[in-house]
Amino acid sequence: MSNHNYVPSSKLGKWFNDRLPLLTLSAHLKEYPTPKNLNYWWTFGGILTFCLITQIITGVVLGMHYVAHADFAFDSVEHIMRDVNYGWLIRYVHANGASMFFLAVYIHIFRALYYGSYKSPREVIWIIGMIIYLLMMMTAFMGYVLPWGQMSFWGATVITNLFSAIPFFGEGITNWLWGGYAVDKPTLTRFFSLHYLLPFLILGLVILHIWALHVPGNNNPIGIELKKPSKDTVPFHPYIVIKDLFALLLFLIVFAFFVFYSPNILGHSDNYIEANPMVTPAHIVPEWYLLPFYAILRSVPDKLLGVVAMFASIFILVVLPWLDTSKIRSAIFRPIYKQLYWILVLDVIILGYMGAMPAEGTYLLIARAATAYYFIHFLIILPILGKKEKTLPVPPNITDPVLGGSSNPQMVKKKEKYI
């Protein structure tokens, strides 16, 4: 941290800062030295903070009109849509905001995968991030249940039934989760309670995430350790603040497109039918952001092993800093990893697509191959590749290669060929 010696200029500021050093904190945030080569993939941290705040504000407002009771929930959501002033806007922002939140978090995670941001000394940032991601999935799942439509009800049924795969305790655990013998009134009220709680836990973890980030400082596209502050860094304010705001503006265009022009395209029309425990919709699919995991679940023919594989696919990410043995962070200097990275991206997209298709025939075969590759990538390829791969020489700092002729990383590589 750079500002331990900060002294406020005003007398009042000094008096306050001696008692609670908030001004020191704000000075640190302003002057926090940031690598000057951060690209737009680094703006998603700020975008995600915006998403979280938006979800909390719109959520608290929706909570003023929503009724968490199985008999009234569905009608109260329609009441919000038709009667409450701007209710339609607030609900569409909240519902599409969840999708935007996940879109941003996937970009954020895949950026970390490409540039090796999870590697030492940033493992704790990564693990906190993964916990945030898990809580996000739980929050989104429970939020999707609240409108008490058909997809809400049957999504809740399928997901909570995952726990029935646990040997011996499965039935007890599902009954405990439901507060009954099926998804019913008690399930809805507790999901509402937890859906309200979890975002605040996420907010707390986000603060820890940023705190942990500010200890070693940002990773950067070439993935080298920087001297901070130095000629390789710029202060967070105004340089990064302006860049983040500009990226947020572009992101908001996409956000607004969904909210105003196709607010229901990411949802499922069956959720406009009130929940009916007697009839299952013909084709149950989770929200798009859970589809890759859903595909992994369905691609294993055994119930318990399917559930294990699904949870393992997330847990594997938590231990990624120890699975990837390469000392070089950025994929720019790892020619083989760079290609495998894009294959992994493709693999996850394929899994997502298969999760939306019926689990039969060719779809099932492709889903199985993609599931197998997902695990092979993390458990076999990464540990071996890190030891075998011939990496390209890494520049000693950000500035010298640029002054040496080019700011283009491609040129940096070419230059190294002469050596």
Partner 1 sequence: MSDEKKVQRRDFIFTASYALGAVGVGAAVWPLIDQMNPDRSVKALASTEVDISSLEPGKSITVLWRGKPVFIKRRTPEEIAEARDVSVENLPHPEKDEDRAKNPEWLVMLGICTHLGCVPLGDKGEYNGWFCPCHGSHYDTSGRIRKGPAPKNLEIPKYEFVNSNTIKIG
Q: Helix count (H) and strand count (E) of the chain? A: 18, 2
Nearer to partner 1, 359 or 369 (CB): 359
Report which of 143, 152, 148 is spatially closest to residue 58, judged by C-alpha positions.
143
The CA distance from 202 to 136, in Å, is: 8
Strand-strand pairing, 233-235 and 33-35: antiparallel
Q: Is residue 149 classed as helix, strand or coil in its secondary structure?
A: strand
- Pairwise CA distance, residues 40 & 125, whole Å: 20
How many C-beta atoms surround the C-beta of residue 281 within 10 A? 18
* Alpha-carbon dihedral sign for residues 347, 145, 89, 59: negative
Of 212, 185, 309, 251, which Cα lies nearest the Cα of 43?
251
Q: Which of residues 241-280 bind partner 1 (CB under 8 A)?
A: 277-280
- Let me know how long the chain is: 419
Q: Could you say whether residue 298 binds partner 1 (CB under 8 A)?
A: yes
- Nearer CB in complex with partner 1: 80/275: 275
In eight-state DSSP terms, residue 148 is -
Q: Of the two residues 204 and 277, which places its CB atom closer to partner 1 in the complex?
A: 277
Q: Contact with partner 1 (CB under 8 A): which of 37, 150, 157, 371?
A: 157
- Closest to partner 1 by CB, 177 or 234: 177
75 binds partner 1 (CB under 8 A): no
Q: How far is the CB of 144 from partner 1 (least distance, A)?
A: 16
Instruction: By CB under 8 A, name the one of 161, 391, 397, 399 that touches partner 1.
Output: 161
In terms of CB distance, is 216 or 306 closer to partner 1? Answer: 306
Tell me which of 69, 214, 228, 303 binds partner 1, using CB under 8 A: 303
Taking the complex as a whole, the smallest distance from the CB of residue 179 to partner 1 amounts, in Å, to 6
Q: Which region among 19-27, 155-163, 228-236, 264-272 touches partner 1 (by CB under 8 A)?
A: 155-163
Identity of the residue, 278 or 419, whose beta carbon is nearer to partner 1 in the bound complex: 278
Closest CA to 33 of 231, 207, 233: 233
Which span sits near partner 1 by CB under 8 A: 42-50, 153-161, 267-275, 386-394?
Answer: 153-161
Name the nearest CA neighbour of 228 among 36, 394, 407, 39: 36
Rounded distance between C-alpha atoms, residue 285 and residue 291, angstroms: 8
| 340: nearest Cα among 374, 388, 313, 307 | 374
- Least separation in angstroms between residue 182's CB and partner 1 is 4
Residue closer to partner 1, measured from CB, 167 or 396: 167
Q: Which listed range, 11-19, 233-241, 296-304, 367-375, lies at the site for partner 1 (CB under 8 A)?
A: 296-304
> Which of 44, 154, 192, 293: binder of partner 1 (CB under 8 A)?
154
- Span 358-397, contacts to partner 1 by CB under 8 A: 358-360
Contact 361, 367 (CB under 8 A): no
Tell me the site size for partner 1, rule CB under 8 A: 35
State in angstroms the smallest separation of the CB of 233 from partner 1.
47
Q: Which is nearer to partner 1, 69 or 190 (CB)?
A: 190
Residue for token digits 């990464």? Answer: 382
Structure tokens at 96: 């599409």
Nearer to partner 1, 121 or 186 (CB): 186
**163-192 footprint of partner 1 as x/- string (CB under 8 A):** -x----------xxxxxxxxxx-x---x--
> Least distance (Å) from partner 1 to the CB of residue 163?
10
Name every residue whose Cβ is closer than 8 Å to that of residue 220 and which is 6 or more positions away in sequence.
35, 37, 38, 115, 226, 398
Residues 200-229 that bind partner 1 (CB under 8 A): none
Instruction: Tell me the C-alpha distance between 205 and 127, whole Å.
Output: 11
Judged by phi (left if over 0) then psi (alpha if -120 to 50, else beta), residue 175 lies in: alpha
Instruction: Name which of 88 and 163 has its Cβ closer to partner 1.
Output: 163
Min separation Cβ 13 and partner 1, Å: 43
Listed residue (405, 398, 413, 404) closest to 334, CA to CA: 413
Q: Quick one: tokens of 20?
A: 């609670």
Q: Which of residues 82-141 bind partner 1 (CB under 8 A)?
A: none
- The residue ranges that bind partner 1 (CB under 8 A) are 154, 157-158, 160-162, 164, 175-184, 186, 190, 277-284, 298, 301-303, 306, 358-360
